Amino acid sequence: MMTNRRSFIKSTSTAAVGISLAAAMPIPISSCAGANEKLRCGVIGVNGMGFADLAAFLRQENTECIALCDVDQNVLNKRASEVEKSKGAKPQVYTDYRKMLENKDIDVVIIGTPDHWHCLPMVEACQAGKYVYCEKPLGNSIEEINIMERAAKKYKSIVQVGMWQRSDPHWRAAVDFVGSGKLGKVRTVRTWAYQGWMGAVPVKPDGNAPEGVDYNLWLGPAKERPFNPNRFHFNFRWYWDYAGGLMTDWGVHIIDYGLFGMNAQAPKSIMAMGGKFAYPDDASETPDTLQALYEFDGYTLLWDHGTGIDGGYYGRNHGVGYVGNNGTLVVDRDGWEVIPEKKNGKELMEKVGLQKGTGKGLDLHMKNLVDVIRGKADKLNAPVEIAANTARVAHLGNIALRTGRRLYWDAGNSRFINDEEANSYLVPAYRAPWSLPNI
C-alpha cells in the first residue's frame, strides 16, 4: 500500500526524523557498469524532500552523490555523515549553492529547498549545463514559473519536477480509463486533501537563528524578517513569503491529475473561499480550510482542503474524483476504482473494484529522469511545461482567495483581465541583492 501522507512527511520532511540511507541504498557500486558511466549528483537543500529525492536517485544503477548543500550546517553535517556511512565516501559540502554549481563533476542537481528558493537555483543549474530534478511546486509565484519555463527551453535543459504521481502506474491507468469515455460526460472534477495529522502551529517568539544556520541566505530573495522557528524548516509551507500552503504543497500533486485526466490547461475563471477556520489563532498564515473552483469549457474543477480532519470525499483523505454521467472514477495514492451511477435500480456502467497502486512512484519518477538522461526513454513524465501549468493553476486559486473575488485569466498574456490588484500577486518583490533572472 502507498505510504500515507503522515508517515511520508514525518520520514522525509522533518528535522527530527532522518532517512536511513543504509536501508534505502542498492547493492554496492562495484556491481554496476564502468565508472565513466556514473551519474554524479549534488543536492541543494537536504533536510526533507531533497534527501528523500537523493535516496531515490541513489537507488538507480550507477549513480553517486558527490556534493551536498544546505544553509543549516547542522543538517548538512548529519546528511553528509549518513551518505558517507552508506556509500563509503563523504560528499563535498557547501553552504552556498552557487559554489556547488561551479563543481564541474556534478551531472545532476537535485533541488529540495523551500519553494521561494526553487527559481534561482534551477535557472542557474540550467545555465551551468546540469541536469535538474526540482521539487514541486515549480515556483513560488507565477512570474517565477514563467521564467523557469523559459530557462529550461532556452538552455535545452532536461528538468524533471517532483510531481512523482506522473510516474506512478495506477494514476496513469486511471487517466486512461477516464479517456475511454466509459464514465460518460464528465461534468465535475473533484480534487481534495484533508490532512488530519496537521494540527495548529503554536505561536512562538522571534529569536536568534540556531548556531550554524545562515539565516540571511535562508531568507534569500524573501522579505527580511526576524528569525522565528515557525518559519523555518518544515513549517515554511504555511507562510506566503516562502510557499502557498496546502494548495501548492498537496494541491500541485492532486490538481495535476485533475488536469491530466481532462487534458486541461488554463481555466477561464477562478473563485475561492476559505480561511483559518480550524485554528484561527495559530501562527500560520495560509488557510487551513479552502475551496477553489475553476471554470473550464463544459465542466468545473474543485480543489478542497482541510487540516486537522480526514473527512474527504468517498471515504478518502485525498484524491481525485472524475464525476461522469455514468459513474465516478476515484483515485488516490492507494489505488483507483469506479463507482457506477444508478437509475431505476440499474447501474449505468460496470463497477471497477479497487486497482491497487505499487507505492513506488518516487523511485519510478527518478528512474524516468535517469533513463531520459541516458537515452533509454524518450520523454520526461513531469517536464517543466507540465509542472508550470499545474503550479500556475494552484497559484491562481490562492490569488482568488486573497483578492476575495472571481478572477478571469488571460493565459496567453499570463495576466488577469481588468484586475490590477490580482496582477500585483504575479511578480514577487525580490530582496536586494537578489533579483529575478532575466530570461
Residues 328 and 371 in one domain: no
Please state the pTM of the whole predicted model.
Answer: 0.92
Same domain, 179 and 55: no
312/222 same-domain check? yes
Rounded-to-integer distance, Cα 248 and Cα 135, Å: 11
Three-state secondary structure call for residue 265: coil
Same domain, 207 and 296: yes
The three cell numbers locating residue 164: 512523482
Q: Residue 406, Cβ neighbours under 10 Å: how many?
A: 13
| 394 and 299, same domain (yes or no) | yes
Mean pLDDT of the chain: 92
**436 part of a folded domain:** no
pLDDT at 37: 82
Domain-located, residue 13: yes
pLDDT-based confidence at 86, cuts 50/70/90? confident
Q: What is the pLDDT of residues 308-335, one digit of tens each?
A: 999 999 999 999 999 999 999 999 999 9
Asked if 162 and 173 sit in the same domain, the reply is no
What's the one-letter identity of residue 215? Y
Q: Is 86 part of any domain? A: yes
Contact (CB, 8 A) for 68 and 78: no
pLDDT at 10 over 80: no
* Helix, coil or strand: residue 322: strand
pLDDT tens digits for range 101-149: 999 999 999 999 999 999 999 999 999 999 999 999 999 999 999 999 9
Give yes or no for a contact between 163 and 253, defined as CB atoms under 8 angstroms apart: yes
161: domain CATH number is 3.40.50.720
Q: Please provide the DSSP assignment of 45-63 as one string.
A: --SSHHHHHHHHHHTSTTE
Q: What is the 3-state secondary structure (H, E, C) of 367-417?
A: HHHHHHHCCCCCCCCCEHHHHHHHHHHHHHHHHHHHHCCCEEEECCCCEEC
What pLDDT, on a 0 to 100 scale, did the predictor assign at position 261?
98
Q: CATH number for the domain including 342?
A: 3.30.360.10
The closest of 316, 315, 285, 321 to 303, measured between CA atoms, is 321
Give the percent of the chain with pLDDT over 90: 90
Which residues sit opposite 40 in a β-bridge?
Answer: 64
What pLDDT does residue 151 have? 98
Over the stretch 340-385, which tens digit does the pLDDT of each residue have? Answer: 999 999 999 999 999 999 999 999 999 999 999 999 999 999 999 9
The answer to whether residues 104 and 39 belong to one domain is: yes
Whether 287 is in a domain gets the answer yes
Q: What is the pLDDT of residues 387-428, one digit of tens each?
A: 999 999 999 999 999 999 999 999 999 999 999 999 999 999
Residues 64-81 have a mean pLDDT of 97
Which neighbouring-strand residues pair with 331? 320, 336
**Total tally of structural domains belonging to the chain:** 2
Distance CA 320, CA 190 (A): 6
Domain annotation covers residue 276: yes
184/158 same-domain check: no
Considering the chain, what percentage of its residues have pLDDT values greater than 70? 92
Domain annotation covers residue 430: no
Q: What is the pLDDT of residue 87?
A: 84
Please check the confidence at residue 43 and state whether its pLDDT lies above 80.
Answer: yes
Co-location of 66 and 95 in the same domain: yes
Q: Are residues 214 and 309 located together in one domain of the fold? A: yes
Residue 233 has pLDDT above 80, yes or no: yes
Let me know if residue 432 belongs to a domain.
no
Instruction: Give residue 279's pLDDT band: very low, low, confident or very high (50, 70, 90).
Output: very high
Q: From the CB of residue 387, how many other CB atoms can be counted at a distance below 10 Å? A: 28
Residues 322 and 372 in one domain: no
Residue 416: domain span: 169-358+388-423
Q: Quick check: 2 pLDDT over 60?
A: no
Cα R_g (the chain), whole angstroms: 21
> Taking the CA of residue 398 as centre, how many other CA atoms within 13 Å lie in the half-sphere pointing to its CB?
28
Nearest to 148 by CA among 205, 157, 5, 369: 157
Question: Is 141 part of any domain?
Answer: yes
- pLDDT 10s digits, 180-222: 999 999 999 999 999 999 999 999 999 999 999 999 999 999 9
Q: Which residues are CB-neighbours of 405 under 8 A, at least 6 positions away? A: 271
State the residue for C-alpha cell 533509454. Answer: 376
Same domain? For 264 and 373 the reply is no
